């Protein structure tokens, strides 16, 4: 014996019902088919009843829609002489339905019993229709088998009586039997219903009573998913669940199967298979009591209830008082309120529980009635209701006795800026449940799914500001490397936002790095740092990284707000880290407090590992005594390019054309850029210095920097001859110019210096940078870091490396 249940969109069209016929024909010679109402009909029946109860004749229009829906199905599924028979019976049932609706219209009232009778017509009509559509099928009326009793406003199955009736009538049955789901009857023979998901429950009741080989639940999805695919695009079908795992996931919002469905078949150890009517070849999800062998993930899936209110009753008078919680939950039960999460402080001075939003006010009122005296005397100080929350549960048998699951969970939430309001975990270690703000649900689900490797890869969401030489080079590198990172490192870099100085674009699903220019040009979003920041905060995406490829002081002002919203910041922009020391510390502390990264390796030396190396030395107990460096690739290029045939002004121009200099070359030539870099390095070495503390000896007269950039180009050429005369002298001495930054004994300076062939700086070619780190360990022979220190591609590569480091690859 096999029991199959079809519902929802599975019975929503003639095409799907024909698919059902084919599926049933392959299931052997003993099959019970349980069906729900045709798709959408139950909602129409409720609407018709409610409309009639208000005295509104529009109920007839709703009834007409129900009638036409069934006639359309008859026309598509039934032919020949059988069609007349089916039409007559369907019309008889519809006439009964109309008479009941008309009665409701006249008395302006619909009782719970009458509503059950009305809604039951959905399954009665569909089961008759489908039984006649399947060749050789018989029809059963579930109300003759499933008996219920009323308890706390719900119809509960009397399994003793129900099993006896099913066994007596159907033991040894051969053929195909179609039965309506959802409907039942009480001891008086009155129609009752089994509530939400009742058709699943009906099928389980038949399967358990008859010791079926398997219960197949045919739906419109391929099985249980690791999470809601509408929220998490990387969610996938779970191939196997235990009964307990399936019950937990169903209870906390996974709508694949109704939770009570599992209980009857679990007791008889009957496996359940979740399958897709529209994709019958998909393997689906198997639910049984077997424990798979081999490597298994800690959690199987994530489920959520996005309709949550949290109620907390607290007061010093609750401490040590026996019976408080008994009274609390009895009051809720008497008010017919279901509680799905409970959390209590070990001090016993408060109890927190979760209910649906619609039950919150009723629960509040019930508690205030029950504890009115305690509230009056001050023993209970507050009953607080917080609405519009979400409850999330991670579920998995493998969490049992596995250390670190809860730690990893809450670390992931904290890193993404999700605050946990309440949490609960049973001793079975099967489920960890927690309550968060509803607005944080999407981010929380994605973060957890990613962190626990339920996805095929981890996702990092990038917001990139600036698409000049560095930004465009970075996007090109990402486009080239994306697939390799995903295939080999299981990391998906998803560019979800791009901004230039005029416009910005965002797309939660991702922007192709190779094709961003057209999308940016067509964007209707006018850009400013503040607007881009607000959009990033509004999107509230997990694992978000803001990447600053500009040199803008305005963009640097948004870092702190982004860090406060748990967005990592990676920047090639030196402004923030070299600005006021108080701001530098604030950014570092914000990142540390929120558990996110503030990375700026490319602020000094482009792609050279200078800052990371210094931090590693300091963290391992070393102390930096002296810094000596050539930190301007632009100035080094200029000094290496100047010759008897290439004057100063021409060398400066060539540096710009090669992409080495800042957009305004005066920043490099004035020494300001080197000062910023030296300040950053000194701060990393533990010294709270400001830019004003650095002694600067510029090699170009101050008045060249006055006015506009055009004025600079006019005046700087006047010094070509004098500069060449000085250069010729040091060349004769066997020396070369270098612009050297030094920090020692708390004194910082930048200056042009002539070095001879014995100095490590002498052979520094092109735009290269070099730094000598004299430390307690590297004292006699300083540590030397040397290489390309300027250029869009190496700077972009350094930024890229910082991004990758956030993923801990």
The residues carrying an active-site annotation are 677
The secondary element (H helix, E strand) that includes residue 627 is strand 624-630
Residues 228 and 236: their CA atoms lie apart, in Å, by 9
Q: Tell whether the torsion through CA atoms of 416, 427, 241 and 398 is positive or negative.
A: positive
Q: Which residues are bridge partners to 218 per DSSP?
A: 6, 275
Residue entry with tokens 């930048």: 750
The CA angle 387-390-394, to the nearest 5 degrees, is 155
Distance of CA 443 to the CA centre of its chain: 4
State how far Cα 417 lies from the chain centre.
Answer: 12
Q: Enumerate the β-bridge partners of residue 741.
A: 629, 750
- Concatenated DSSP letters of 509-547: T---GGGHHHHHHH---B--HHHHHHHHHHH--TTEEEE
Residues 6+ away with beta carbon under 8 Å from 96? 121
Residue 449, judged by CB atoms within 10 A of its CB (0-12, 13-18, 19+), counts as buried
CB within 8 Å of 177: residues ≥ 6 apart: 31, 32, 33, 137, 138, 139, 140, 170
Q: Are 363 and 375 in contact (CB under 8 A)?
A: no
Cβ neighbours of residue 243 closer than 8 Å, sequence gap 6 or more: 262, 266, 287, 288, 289
Number of other CB atoms surrounding residue 400 within 10 Å: 12
The span from the CA of 209 to the CA of 225, in Å, is 29
CA 797 – CA 618 distance, rounded (Å): 25
522: tokens are 């067509």
**Those residues with Cβ within 8 angstroms of residue 68's Cβ, 6 or more apart along the chain or in another chain:** none
DSSP 742: E
DSSP helix/strand/coil, 586 = helix
């Amino acid at each position: 014996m096999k029991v199959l249940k079809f519902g929802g969109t599975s019975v929503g069209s003639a095409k799907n019902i024909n698919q059902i016929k084919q599926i049933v024909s392959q299931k052997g010679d003993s099959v019970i088919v349980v069906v729900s109402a045709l798709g959408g009909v139950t909602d129409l029946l409720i609407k018709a009843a409610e409309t009639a109860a208000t005295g509104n004749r529009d109920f007839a229009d709703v009834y007409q829609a129900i009638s036409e829906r069934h006639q359309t199905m008859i026309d598509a599924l039934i032919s020949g002489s059988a069609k007349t028979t089916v039409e007559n019976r369907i019309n008889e049932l519809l006439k009964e339905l109309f008479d009941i609706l008309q009665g409701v219209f006249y008395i302006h009232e619909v009782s719970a019993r009458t509503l059950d009778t009305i809604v039951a017509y959905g399954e009665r009509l569909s089961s008759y229709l489908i039984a006649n559509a399947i060749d050789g099928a018989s029809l059963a009326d579930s109300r003759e088998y499933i008996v219920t009793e009323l308890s706390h406003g719900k119809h509960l199955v009397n399994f003793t009586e129900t099993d006896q009736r099913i066994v007596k009538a159907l033991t040894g049955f051969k053929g195909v039997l179609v039965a309506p789901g959802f409907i039942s009857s009480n001891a008086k023979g009155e129609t009752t219903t089994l509530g939400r998901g009742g058709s699943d429950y009906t099928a389980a009741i038949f399967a358990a009573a008859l010791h079926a080989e398997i219960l197949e639940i045919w739906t419109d999805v391929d099985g249980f998913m690791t999470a809601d695919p509408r929220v998490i695009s990387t969610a996938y079908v779970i191939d196997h669940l235990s009964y307990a795992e399936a019950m937990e996931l169903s209870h906390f919002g996974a709508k694949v199967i109704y939770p009570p469905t599992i209980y009857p078949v679990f007791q008889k150890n009957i496996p359940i298979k979740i399958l897709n009517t529209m994709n019958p070849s998909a393997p689906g999800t198997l639910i049984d009591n077997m424990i798979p062998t081999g490597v298994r993930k800690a959690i199987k899936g994530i489920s959520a209830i996005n309709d949550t209110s949290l109620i907390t009753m607290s007061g010093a008078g609750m401490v040590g008082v026996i019976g408080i919680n008994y009274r609390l939950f009895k009051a809720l039960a008497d008010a017919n309120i279901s509680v799905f999460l409970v959390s209590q402080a070990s001090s016993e001075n408060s109890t927190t529980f979760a209910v649906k939003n619609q039950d919150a006010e009723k629960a509040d009122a019930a508690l205030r009635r029950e504890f009115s005296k305690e509230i009056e005397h001050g023993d209970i100080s507050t009953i607080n209701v917080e609405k519009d929350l979400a409850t999330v549960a991670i579920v998995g048998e493998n969490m049992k006795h596995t250390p670190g699951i809860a730690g990893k969970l809450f670390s992931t939430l904290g890193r993404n800026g999700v605050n946990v309001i309440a949490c609960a975990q049973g001793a079975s270690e099967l489920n960890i449940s927690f309550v968060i703000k509803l607005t944080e649900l999407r981010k929380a689900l994605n973060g957890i799914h990613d962190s626990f490797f339920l996805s095929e890869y981890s996702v990092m969401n990038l917001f990139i500001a600036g698409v000049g030489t560095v930004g465009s080079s970075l996007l090109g590198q990402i486009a080239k490397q994306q697939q390799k990172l995903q295939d080999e490192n299981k990391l998906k870099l998803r560019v979800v936002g791009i901004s230039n100085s005029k416009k910005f674009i965002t797309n939660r699903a991702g922007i192709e790095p190779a094709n961003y220019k057209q999308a940016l040009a067509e964007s209707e979003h006018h850009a400013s740092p503040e607007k881009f920041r607000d959009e990033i905060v509004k999107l509230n995406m997990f694992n978000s990284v803001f990447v600053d490829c500009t040199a803008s002081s305005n963009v640097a002002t948004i870092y702190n707000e982004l860090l406060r919203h748990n967005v990592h910041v990676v920047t090639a922009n030196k402004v923030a880290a070299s600005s006021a020391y108080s701001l530098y510390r604030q950014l570092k502390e914000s990142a540390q407090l929120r558990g996110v990264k503030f990375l700026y390796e490319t602020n000094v030396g482009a792609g050279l590992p200078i800052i990371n190396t210094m931090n590693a030395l300091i963290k391992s107990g070393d102390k930096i005594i002296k810094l000596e460096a050539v930190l301007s690739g632009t100035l080094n290029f200029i000094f290496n390019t100047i010759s008897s045939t290439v004057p100063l002004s021409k060398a400066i121009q060539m540096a710009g054309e090669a992409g080495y200099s800042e957009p305004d070359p005066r920043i490099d030539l004035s020494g300001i850029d080197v000062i910023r870099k030296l300040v950053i390095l000194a701060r990393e070495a533990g010294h709270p210095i400001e830019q004003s503390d650095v002694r600067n000896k510029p090699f170009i007269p101050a008045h060249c920097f006055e006015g506009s950039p055009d004025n600079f180009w006019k005046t700087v050429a006047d010094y070509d001859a004098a500069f060449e005369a000085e250069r010729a002298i040091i060349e004769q001495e066997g020396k070369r110019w270098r612009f050297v930054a030094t920090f020692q004994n708390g004194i910082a300076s930048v200056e042009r210096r002539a070095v001879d062939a014995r100095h490590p700086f002498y052979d520094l070619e092109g735009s290269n940078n070099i730094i000598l780190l004299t430390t307690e360990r590297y004292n006699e022979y300083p540590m030397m870091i040397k290489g390309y220190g300027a250029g869009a591609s190496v700077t972009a590569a350094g930024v890229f490396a910082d991004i990758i480091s956030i993923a801990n690859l």
